[in-house]
Amino acid sequence: VSHFRLPFLKRWVPLPLLVAMDRLAQPTGRWWQFSPSVFLRCRASWEKPLAPAGAFFRCPACGEIALREEPDALLCPGCGHRWPHRDGIYDFKPG
């Protein structure tokens, strides 16, 4: 992951210099994230109970967990919102 992805920089700054600048900038990720991607080190917590079977997703609009699977979406019985999925990817962005 590069901090310097701007096409202008890639075109005019020599690659070895971009690599050196990235090496200098990488340790700063602990304090701030200026790169386009951020990697996290996460651990599973077993302190909370597992979600009930069939309740993998929760409605972002109202919090309902009993979403109903339809051919092209998940339907929330709580608020009626339809959360589409295309090519196996669920889209929970509002709007």
Q: What is the pLDDT of residue 48?
A: 78
Do 32 and 54 lie in one domain? The reply is: no
Enumerate the β-bridge partners of residue 85. 90
Same domain, 59 and 87: yes
What is the CB neighbour count within 10 angstroms for residue 3?
19
pLDDT in tens, 21-52: 888 887 776 677 666 666 778 888 778 787 77
Task: Give the 3-state secondary structure percentages of the chain, helix then strand then coil, rounded to 5.
Answer: 25, 15, 65
Give the global pTM.
0.48
The CATH number covering residue 59 comes to 2.20.25
Region 14-21: what's the mean pLDDT? 92
Same domain, 21 and 35: yes
List the Cα angle 3/16/20 in 5-degree steps: 50
Do 93 and 63 share a domain, yes or no? Answer: yes
Task: State residue 33's pLDDT score.
Answer: 66
Maximal CA-CA distance, the chain: 56
- pLDDT, one tens digit per residue, over 43-94 is 887 787 877 777 789 999 999 989 999 999 999 999 999 999 988 899 998 7
Q: Assign 1 a pLDDT band (cuts: 50, 70, 90).
A: low
* Tokens encoding 15: 């690659």
pLDDT of residue 3 exceeding 80 = no
- Phi-psi region for residue 86, left (φ > 0), alpha (ψ -120 to 50) or beta? beta
